[in-house]
Amino acid sequence: MHSLISVNNLTRRYGDFCAVNNISFELAAGDILGFLGPNGAGKSTTMQMLTGSLAPTLGEITINGIDLLEQPKAAKASLGYLPENPPLYKEMTVTEYLRYCARLHHIDRSRQTAICDSAIERCGLDDVRRRLIRNLSKGYQQRVGIAQAILHSPPVIILDEPTVGLDPIQIMEIRSLIKTLGQSHGIILCTHILPEVQAVCNRVQIINQGELVYSADMKDMLSTETRRFEISLSAKIEREMLARHAVFKSINIIDNNSFTAESDLPAEQLTAYIIRQQWGLTRFTTQQTSLEQMFIDLTLSDTNMTNSSISRKKRLDDRLQTNAT
């Protein structure tokens, strides 16, 4: 499959502070890649380097086969970019603004009207095309920002926090638009909103403290076998008693009769073990893998981790290595 973006060993330092540390990934045609991370993880810094707004300290970026550092203008021609704060001239109407952007992209004058009309139609802006941008709702302003990003039909679209500040209906509309655009473009969706990624993306990457800590297809991530269980017993649970059994890698007491635990044993073997202990097993539930739990496990600060959390992160890292091979 054709690679639209190839990032190799990308690093950005500010003095002694490393904002992005040696990350590598690719974006293929047809991908909608969710680029996730907590605030301050390095998401926006990475996007700024991908769009040529910020020079990397080290590393290589290739866009549609063109080296961004060696041929920046040619590489940027394959990009459409919506930054977190859309670059709108709010004293213009929607049509005036898009025609202005078309001239910036050196689109032939004879084609400007047709191309602007196409972007307006794709982004659902026909009803507001003659209105001043400053008089539009935040949702419509985001649509105008996306329209300018796709105006020149770039193979790659980068969207940085496209639904921040929108109401639930506007969020659903923007998500629907992103999914539609994903049919004909490669898209990077940079966000910290987990439902956003799960709703529209087919791939997910998580960055934390400047490092890429997870990368997988969404289907593979959701189908990953989990070893986290919720267990209820008829007798009162004593944490000290449970901790003496090596089958449990971590234990979290819910109430007097219930707890969650992680184990290296599959569900069937762990159930059989508990029954042999004659603890009075009343309920045993396998917790499903979720993007939210994966995100929490991988981005929890080391300084705030309990021993069980550190152990969980190590096992996740081991699983990532296994998946990579």
Query: Residue 211 is part of a domain; what is its CATH number?
Result: 3.40.50.300
Strands (E), the chain: 3-14, 17-28, 32-36, 58-63, 66-67, 79-82, 156-160, 186-191, 203-208, 211-217, 228-233, 250-253, 258-262, 281-286
Among the candidates 222, 243, 265, a domain finishes at: 222
Q: What is residue 302's predicted lDDT score, i.e. its pLDDT?
A: 45
Residues 152 and 242 in one domain: no
Measured CA to CA in angstroms, residue 298 lies from 14, 99, 217 at distances of 24, 44, 16
Residue 103 pLDDT exceeds 80? yes
Residue-wise pLDDT for 113-167, tens only, equals: 999 999 999 898 999 999 999 999 988 999 999 999 999 999 999 998 888 878 8
pLDDT band at 223 (very low <50, low <70, confident <90, very high): low
Single-letter residue type at 117: D
pLDDT band at 303 (very low <50, low <70, confident <90, very high): very low
Q: Which residue has the higher pLDDT, 202 or 302?
A: 202
Residues 158 and 272 in one domain: no
Residue 40 pLDDT exceeds 90? no
Residues 203 and 63 in one domain: yes
pTM (2 decimals)? 0.74
Among the candidates 199, 222, 245, a domain finishes at: 222
Task: Please report which helix (H) or strand (E) contains residue 239, including its range.
Answer: helix 239-243
Best mean pLDDT range from 129-133, 175-179, 235-239? 129-133
In the chain, how long is the greatest CA-to-CA distance?
A: 81
Q: What is residue 322's predicted lDDT score, i.e. its pLDDT?
A: 43
Residues 187 and 77 in one domain: yes
In the chain, how many domains are there?
2
pLDDT band at 325 (very low <50, low <70, confident <90, very high): very low
Q: Evaluate whether residue 317 is within a structural domain.
A: no
Residues 233 and 180 in one domain: no
Residues 45 and 167 in one domain: yes
Q: What is residue 170's predicted lDDT score, i.e. its pLDDT?
A: 84
Residues 113 and 198 in one domain: yes
Q: Evaluate whether residue 296 is within a structural domain.
A: no
Domain with 250 in it: what CATH number? Answer: 3.30.70
Residues 156 and 270 in one domain: no
Residues 154 and 106 in one domain: yes
Residues 218 and 235 in one domain: no
Q: Which residue has the higher pLDDT, 38 or 307?
A: 38
Domain that holds residue 111: 3-222
Q: Evaluate whether residue 177 is within a structural domain.
A: yes
Report, as an integer, the average pLDDT of 187-194: 89
Residue-wise pLDDT for 54-102, tens only, equals: 999 999 999 999 999 999 999 999 999 998 888 899 999 999 999 999 9
Angle at 63 between CA 45 and CA 325, to 5 degrees: 80
Q: Evaluate whether residue 325 is within a structural domain.
A: no
Q: Evaluate whether residue 23 is within a structural domain.
A: yes
Q: Evaluate whether residue 279 is within a structural domain.
A: yes
Residue 193 pLDDT exceeds 90? no
Q: What is residue 130's predicted lDDT score, i.e. its pLDDT?
A: 96
Q: Evaluate whether residue 304 is within a structural domain.
A: no
pLDDT band at 320 (very low <50, low <70, confident <90, very high): very low
Residue-wise pLDDT for 248-274, tens only, equals: 988 889 988 899 888 888 889 999 999
Residues 272 and 200 in one domain: no
Q: Sheet harboring 79-82: ordered strands across?
A: 79-82, 156-160, 186-191, 32-36, 203-208, 211-217
Q: What is residue 267's predicted lDDT score, i.e. its pLDDT?
A: 87
Among the candidates 181, 200, 222, a domain finishes at: 222
Residues 237 and 108 in one domain: no
Q: Which of 260, 263, 286, 259 is nearest to 273 (CA)?
A: 263
Q: What is residue 1's predicted lDDT score, i.e. its pLDDT?
A: 57
Mean pLDDT of the chain: 86
Q: Evaluate whether residue 148 is within a structural domain.
A: yes
Q: What is residue 310's predicted lDDT score, i.e. its pLDDT?
A: 42
